[in-house]
Amino acid sequence: MSILIEKATPGDAADPRRWYALFVIAIAQLMVVLDASIVNIALPHAALPVSMGGLNIAPKDYQWAVTAYTLTFGGFLLLGGRIGDYMGRKKAFMIGLAGFAGASLLGGFALNQAMLYSARALQGVFGALLAPAALSLISVTFTDSRERARAFGVYGALSGVGAAIGLIAGGLLTQYFSWRWCLFVNTPMAILALILAAPNIHESKVEGHPHYDVPGALSATAGMVSVVYGVFKASTDGWGSSGAWPFIAAGAVLLGVFFVIEARRREPLLPLRLLTDRVRGGSFLAQILVAMALMGMFLFMTFYFQDVHHYSAVKTGLVFMPFSVGIIISAVTASQLLPRVGPRPLATVGALMAAGGLWFLSYVTPTSGYAVHVMPAMVVASLGLGLVFVSLSSMALFNVAPRDTGAASAVLSTAQQLGGSFGTAIQNTIAVSSATAYGTYLVRSSPASSARLDHVLAQVHGFDVAFRFGALVLGVSAVVIFVMVNVDRHHLGQFDEALAIA
């Protein structure tokens, strides 16, 4: 059986470089997370005719600038985690950084939309190598419960706040420079992280002959890509379309084949013991549910600010700032409380707070004031989400054998990506269908009303219904956390001892 042959020595309290290592990992994590949202605000500018500095992208093709990244990122995460286990997590981390920098540069210089989509897909591939290595390095670098809680506090804060920072950065870069800088900005960040990673991060990997489980990797990757692609097709063509379900069905079959393969392999890509453990399984399931609720909120609030209130790209990004600040404050607080009270009470309360904030947001109207209605709802939700992200990030690696840290990290990131993909598609369908039905009702009840006003009212009504769905999903996540993530301070102490012996 494979064992960890080298544990990152920065976990020793006498070595101050462990905090430099965390800074490097934080840069990489922020870059990966915000890249899923930073291009959203820039898309209308990238879609302009070539004569106006754009790539002449049709509205129906907008989604590919986003989905080309999320499809490859979510599809290759499991393989990326296992590669890091055997090749070395530091090496995988640095290769991922270098590749991400190159792909971002390629996308910034894109001459046409095909080149842009290809670059985004490459970003996803290298991000899938980078993200699980980053979380694994935190686990083996920080072995003291209080220090690890602080480290996961940083990681959790960036996981939650990255999407909002991406919207802010996208607005600023697009309005004052060019949409291309939404891609260029990754390159200096990655280069800085590369320079700092070499002396400050220590290598750790699994001993013995590498077992990459190629059949499992192919079936898992193809299955996840097929399901996510099918869901995105449904979000654009409708759930009743014939173009979506064949991909979803094929993906489900491939994922079934994957689990059969994993159950029979001696060195599986995804050890099924990671999923059968109640704490980790609950953490992964809760992460899927939280991501389902969160990503739709970002999408619809962006449309609400720009289409209903006609905010500029910069102002749209800046009004998300309280959300970002709320998550940072909450994550710092959670990192201090986690060793004292354990993750279950923190994450349960956080999920309920987020659900309450999103439910309050579901009563927004076209004339709702930002300071009175929108901002308070977003702040309450963000304070709750910070508690959730820190707790779930720490529990995803609870009691994991050293040889499985890469796989466990990849499963957590995969849960985030798949949850966000499913949530966006489902909530988009709910919003569109609700808006259509409400618009029909308005026309029938008041035929002489303004078509423009009816459209705005119907659009916001669709957002509200989608927010309520998201609030209910967060409520379900609170139940999952309370029932399954039953870890207290005593268990956290056992986790420290296990890491110290590894």
Q: What angle do CA 284, 290, 292 make, to 5 degrees?
A: 105
What confidence category does residue 12 fall into, taking pLDDT thresholds of 50, 70 and 90? very low
**DSSP conformation class of 65:** H
pLDDT in tens, 262-286: 888 777 777 777 777 788 788 888 8
For residue 441, give the H/E element and its range.
Answer: helix 405-445
Q: Is 209 helix (H, G, I), strand (E, B) or coil?
A: coil
What pLDDT is attached to residue 93? Answer: 85
- Phi, psi for residue 366 in degrees, rounded to 5: -60, -20
d(CA 385, CA 369) in angstroms, rounded, equals 23
Q: What's the mean pLDDT in 76-85?
A: 78
Task: Please state the three-class secondary structure of 344-366 as a single string.
Answer: HHHHHHHHHHHHHHHHHHCCCCC
More confident position, 216 or 409: 216
Mean pLDDT (the chain) is: 78
For 377, the token pair is 């709802």
Q: What angle do CA 280, 283, 289 make, to 5 degrees?
A: 145
More confident position, 449 or 473: 473
- Phi, psi for residue 374 in degrees, rounded to 5: -70, -50
pLDDT in tens, 166-200: 777 777 888 788 888 888 888 888 888 888 877 77
More confident position, 56 or 347: 347
Whether residue 148 is predicted with pLDDT greater than 70 in this model: the reply is no
d(CA 35, CA 170) in angstroms, rounded, equals 10
What pLDDT is attached to residue 13? Answer: 46
Out of 291-300, 319-328, 491-500, least confident range: 491-500
